[in-house]
Amino acid sequence: MSNKIRKSQSISRRGFLAAAGVATVLPAIIPSRVLAAEGNPGANERITVAFIGVGGMGNYHLDSMKRFVDSGEVNIAAVCDVDENRLRAALEKAGPGVTPYRDYRYILERDDIDAVVIATPDHWHAVQTVHACQTGKHVYVEKPACCTIEEGTAMMAAARDNKRAVQVGSQGRSEHEAYLAHRYLENGAIGRVHTVTCFHYSGPTDEEPLPDSAPPPELDWDLWLGPMRWRPYNARYCPGTFRWVMESGGGLIRDRGAHVMSCAMYWMNADGTAPVSIEATGTAPTRGLWDHCVDMNVTYTFKNPDWTLTWNQPGEPVPKEERTADEPEITRPGYGAVYHGDNGTFVHWGGDGGTWAERKCREWTPPPGAKEVFKSPGHKEDWFNGIRTGAKTIMNIDASVGVADLCNLGNLSYILGRKLEWDGAKRQVIGDELANRMLGRPQRHPYHL
């Protein structure tokens, strides 16, 4: 297996970087025929897909894509991961004819690949999405879209300028009960919604810190870090624990908050809008490497229309409702949101691959003349439709960057210890030079935008 992996990378990483020149911003070395290729796969053509990052959610996406392979809609051409053990397992799962890579840039060189599924840690999302769009690839990228405001701006521009369909993995919008919730709220079943309170439990702490060490032999630590500043390997940084480091994961607000607030922005018809102010408080861990908020409260104020969104960690959880044996069970009741309207409230639990609406919403019958809302055929099916037709996807990059902005600005307000006044049109903090300097961050050469 390892021979096959090496063969697929016929030049070394060092040779690859040298061939590209020291800058190594890959689009400069991609054949011109690949860049922003005109046209999309036809209705009866297979979409050729590659996977970048195949652990965790990447492994889930590889599993879920197999049914589209079986139906003849998709062809899997390549898998990529910086961990050789994960790469080996993904290659076996993907089946014959699939090429393995350790470095995603080899995938972007291939003009036979239409689209990529990116499920790397958060700090890689923006760079890989921008490079993929610039090299003519459509993108499905895990949430949150980005780690900084600057990254989000670059992602929106890359998708727009290269006319690529980008779907972000806040799949809660595509759940059936999410459709019911959207229709329920859109038709004013609880009146005008003025406040949405998101609830979640507290974040984890590292009670047994470990010293730095050599990375495991199967892991390319330099590639795992990618655009982040270099630091020694520590087992508390990854794989999944990257979530609890501000620089790489941003804590629960950028994890589950990106799901729950995605639903709120969609159901409130607030995609394309932004809060005018953000005010956050929080508590950091007292030991170990993790520096995310253990507890956190953020208030977002919107104008025209006026409404308030809050992230509460911990919040006031609503006990899950009892369901009958033939109803989908609420398996993640610890997070969700309460919608407060002039004529009542509405609760949903979850917000990602499980989104559960309370019974009165599910049993609500639309009256004559009720407004209809978009019903997603499925998160990946909706992405395929965007690839084939150019239609805007349900969690398109502009909408997803808007949600990521909420997470990132919440963290920024917490770090600075003050309220931020936000100009969404200019994507700048009003009257705060230091805050504006922190809307982006340096990225390590050569893994940068």
Task: Return the pLDDT at 353.
Answer: 85
Q: Same domain, yes or no, for 260 and 277?
A: yes
In terms of residue numbers, what domain contains 24? Answer: 2-171
Nearest to 74 by CA among 102, 98, 91, 107: 98
The pLDDT tens digits of the residues spanning 130-180 come to 999 999 999 999 999 999 999 999 999 999 999 999 999 999 999 999 999
- Dist CA 231 CA 221 (whole Å): 10
- Dist CA 368 CA 44 (whole Å): 38
Nearest to 138 by CA among 388, 400, 403, 398: 388
Residue 19 predicted with pLDDT over 50? no
Average pLDDT over residues 48-71: 96
Q: Is the CA virtual torsion 346, 349, 351, 354 positive or negative?
A: negative
- Dist CA 356 CA 207 (whole Å): 33
**Segments in 135-187 forming alpha helices (H):** 149-161, 176-186
Q: Is there a domain that residue 424 lies in?
A: yes
Q: Is there a domain that residue 67 lies in?
A: yes
Task: Return the pLDDT at 15.
Answer: 40
Quote the radius of gyration of the chain (alpha carbons, Å).
22
Of the residues 138, 171, 204, the one at which a domain ends: 171
The pLDDT tens digits of the residues spanning 194-248 come to 999 999 999 999 999 999 999 999 999 999 999 999 999 999 999 999 999 999 9
Q: Same domain, yes or no, for 159 and 180?
A: no
Of the residues 118, 136, 171, the one at which a domain ends: 171
Average pLDDT over residues 407-421: 98
- Dist CA 359 CA 347 (whole Å): 9
Residue 5 predicted with pLDDT over 80? no
Give how many domains the chain has, as a whole number: 2
Q: Same domain, yes or no, for 180 and 272?
A: yes
Q: Is there a domain that residue 422 lies in?
A: yes
Task: Return the pLDDT at 20.
Answer: 32
CA 147 to chain centroid, in Å, comes to 10
Tokens of 116: 């990529």
Q: Same domain, yes or no, for 210 and 317?
A: yes
In the block, residue with structure tokens 């995605």: 262
Q: Is there a domain that residue 60 lies in?
A: yes
Q: Is there a domain that residue 415 lies in?
A: yes
Residue 33 predicted with pLDDT over 50? no
CATH number for the domain spanning 263: value is: 3.30.360.10
Task: Return the pLDDT at 39.
Answer: 54
Task: Return the pLDDT at 90.
Answer: 97
Task: Return the pLDDT at 27.
Answer: 38
Task: Return the pLDDT at 44.
Answer: 63
Residue 36 predicted with pLDDT over 70? no
Query: Would residue 302 be called left, alpha or beta, if left means φ above 0 and alpha means ψ between -120 and 50 degrees?
Result: beta
Burial 130-152 (b: 16+ CB within 10 A, else e): bbbbbbbbbbbbbbbbbbbbbbb
Q: Is there a domain that residue 289 lies in?
A: yes
**SS3 assignment, position 412:** helix
**Segments in 113-220 forming alpha helices (H):** 122-134, 149-161, 176-186
The pLDDT tens digits of the residues spanning 262-307 come to 999 999 999 999 999 999 999 999 999 999 999 999 999 999 999 9
Residue 29 predicted with pLDDT over 50? no
The pLDDT tens digits of the residues spanning 361-371 come to 999 999 999 99
Of the residues 139, 171, 203, the one at which a domain ends: 171
CATH number for the domain spanning 7: value is: 3.40.50.720
Task: Return the pLDDT at 360.
Answer: 98
Tokens of 178: 């999410």
The pLDDT tens digits of the residues spanning 331-359 come to 999 999 999 999 999 999 999 989 999 99
The pLDDT tens digits of the residues spanning 166-188 come to 999 999 999 999 999 999 999 99
Q: Same domain, yes or no, for 101 and 184?
A: no
User: Which residues have CB under 8 Å from 119's CB, separation 6+?
Assistant: 51, 52, 53, 54, 55, 56, 57, 58, 60, 61, 141, 142, 169
